[in-house]
Amino acid sequence: MSADAHRGAALGRRAWTGAAGRSLLIAVGTIVVAVIAAVLTGGLPQPIRVAIVAAVLVVGVLVAVLVVDRRGAEAIHASVEAARAAWAQHHGWVPVADGPADPADVELAVPRGWSVTAARGRIVGARAAGTARAETWVLRAVPGSRRQPRRREIVVVPARTGAVRLAVSTVATADPLLITPAWTRGGRTTWLGTDAEPAWAARVRDRVAAHADLPLTVTVGADRVVVYALDDPRPQTLEARLALATEIAGIVAG
């Protein structure tokens, strides 16, 4: 991919949502224009009509290729990687290679019906209690599903959680496959522990509710706090989510 393509993939608040939607919009638009062209050229000889419709389809394909190159998922990934590397350099963090997601993170955060095929754009930073991470997950739907691949933004910080789990979302969603962890059974169970919820659980809920962001879920457990967000890979948003997770880790530690 060219450097020009990388520069063209500016990061926005809904970068991944836009990348997924543009290809679909172009495909639908091309089909609509081809149908209209076929109707409007109904009085022309068949070879000419076929040539016009074919030309419309070719133009649609070329536009799709150009958009994917400059504004598609891979172009966004390149921009995210560059932006995070620059952020890491100024904050004492380190970029690391793409690879599989941490299984404990996946167990805590991923909704039912999805698997994580890669963690990309990963950066790590040392904390007193362990290593913090920020990365983008590439999600694939389970076989048989018609859902397209998705990207989700992840922040993880170490925390002394003990053998409990708590999941708190910023918004209520009717779709349990969006940001609701699988272990919550569609949001019906947001706490797992041998005892009743501790006092800090209410404080965590209040803190998450006060956080202004796109839809996300904060999960506490497995000695970490995981922020699983719908979109927005920008560095300034990473900082806000990191601050959220860090504060929640402090609340849990007491």
pLDDT band at 1 (very low <50, low <70, confident <90, very high): very low
Q: Has residue 112 got a pLDDT over 70? A: yes
pLDDT band at 64 (very low <50, low <70, confident <90, very high): low
Q: Name the residue with higher pLDDT: 42 or 29.
A: 42
Sign of torsion over alpha carbons 74, 78, 79, 84: positive
Which residues pair with residue 115 across a beta bridge? 140
Exposed / middle / buried, residue 79 (Cβ in 10 Å: 0-12, 13-18, 19+)? buried
Question: If you search the block for the tokens 């909704």, which residue do you land on?
Answer: 111
Structure tokens at 73: 């998922």
> pTM, whole model, 2 decimals?
0.81
Which residues pair with residue 181 across a beta bridge? 111
Structure tokens at 23: 């290809």
In contact, 235 and 84? CB cutoff 8 Å: yes
Which residues pair with residue 78 across a beta bridge? none
